[in-house]
Amino acid sequence: MERVDRCVVLVDAGYLLGAAASLLAGEPARSRITVDHAALIQGLRDLAEADTERPLLRIYWFDGAPDRVPQPEHRRLRVMPRVTVRLGALTRSDGRWAQKGVDAAMHAELTELARNRACSDVVLVTGDGDLLPGLMSAKEHGVAVHLWAVQAADGDYNQSEDLVAEADERRVLDRVWITRSVRAKELTGICAPPPAPRPEIAAILSAPLPESALAASQERAAEAVRNGSQPPASENGAEAGPAPATTKG
């Protein structure tokens, strides 16, 4: 069977979006980012065709979902041209979500594509070393494997070293490329610190109110009289005179 000169992209969505969240928001929670899926798919297609110099056959989007029920983003993705969504299970353990079956599904798809000579080049967007057997199988069937990584937030690798060592080609999707379709959400709510007032506003807010200033002045005058000291000057600068004598009736 003659091999078809086309490229296929296999995306581990948990890796791609989790690494993008770490890069842009400082933590791998996908809830911290918003994704323009149409722009992301188009970006993956354009870059894959440019890197492999082959037309795209299909993009496979592998992700987890509770009970394997498609979420709104999955429903948007699977109606896009040249996109196939494959869902594994998403389970919660020790307060964290974990994918089940995604790696196995990617391995099976990669091996089947290579065995059937459906493509000449495969682009893998993943970091999991569990996919190493599938990568090796694809190479044995004569498929060129391109491994793509998301730029690591700490500047180090966020991929299995074995995958990196065995891939035919490697590319890093940097911050500039990621931010074309992914952005961090703004922090809002009670946890967000209030904006600091401008200096001139702060000075006005810290000044005493007229009523409080008058009360303080009167209190100082009364204290001076009780202590037998000189009474304070009046507001116009003249000293207050003695109190008038009381006449008998």
Domains and CATH numbers, the chain: 7-184 (3.40.50.1010)
- pLDDT tens profile 168-201: 999 999 999 999 999 999 876 555 455 555 666 6
Is the pLDDT at 98 greater than 70? The verdict is: yes
Cβ-based neighbours of 100, under 8 Å, separated by 6 or more: 64, 88, 89, 90, 91
Q: For residue 189, what are the β-bridge partners?
A: none
Nearest to 110 by CA among 70, 55, 102: 102
Query: Under 8 Å CB-to-CB from 57, ≥6 apart: which residues?
Result: 4, 6, 7, 8, 82, 118, 119
pLDDT bracket for residue 97 (50, 70, 90): confident
pLDDT, the chain, mean: 84
Q: What's the angle, vertex CA 246, arms to CA 240 and CA 247, rounded to 5?
A: 140
- Asked whether 106 and 10 are in contact (CB, 8 A), the reply is yes
pLDDT at 207: 61
Instruction: Look up the pTM and report it.
Output: 0.73
Indicate whether 237 pLDDT > 50.
no
